[in-house]
Amino acid sequence: MNYKSYFTILICMILCSCETDFDVTASYKDTMVVYGLLDPTQELQSIRINKSYLGREDAVTMGENYDSIQYPVDDLEVSIYVGNDTSNRFYLTADTIEKKR
């Protein structure tokens, strides 16, 4: 075979090669994000539970929608237990801190 044949086969392979469509913003999936700072020397502990979000809009615009980033307080039951002993639990209470305007 000559170089023209190799070149023609190569061009055909490139033009007919596989194509993978990849969409970064996939369909909605509820993902829980938990932030916590536990200090045994302090009486009060802080745990923050939010939803993560991803969409085609601006992140600031999406973050303003309270329902898309916060769980309803009645939907969560949060407890902390020491080691593997589930009988020694500490139940957490909800405390919502509103953003200053």
Give pLDDT tens digits for 28-42: 777 889 998 888 898
Where do the structural domains in the chain lie, given as residue ranges?
32-95
Query: Model pTM?
Result: 0.57
Please answer whether residues 91 and 78 qualify as being in contact, where contact means their C-beta atoms are separated by less than 8 angstroms: yes
As a whole number of angstroms, the distance between CA 67 and CA 34 comes to 17
The full DSSP string for the chain is: --HHHHHHHHHHHHHT-------SS-S----EEEEEE--TTSSS-EEEEEE----SS-HHHHHT-HHHH---GGG---EEESTT-TTSEEE------PPP-
CA proximity to 55, closest of 30, 25, 23, 22: 25
Q: Is the pLDDT of residue 93 over 80?
A: no
The whole-number pLDDT of residue 101 equals 47
